[in-house]
Amino acid sequence: MTAKHNDQTVELTIPRVTAEDRPVFLGVNGECVRIRPGETVRVARRFAEVWENAQAQEAAAREACRRADRASKTALAAL
């Protein structure tokens, strides 16, 4: 990716989960932004990519936990 691509701005909305949600900090190479959940803001594309990557990692981790849980239940049932 070029620096120009990463400097383009995009809209980003971090979903609100509860009324007490705290701002989310996103950082890229020492530069940070703080975003309040539920608000749509314009940020440099690099920050939106950090958020998207974090969400993908979290989803993958949840799926890995589900698979491990199913495997352990299957193993216990086989005892």
Q: What is the pLDDT of residues 13-44, one digit of tens each?
A: 999 988 889 999 999 999 999 999 999 999 99
Whose CA is closest to 6, among 37, 29, 23, 38?
Answer: 29
Q: What is the pLDDT of residues 67-79, one digit of tens each?
A: 999 999 998 888 8
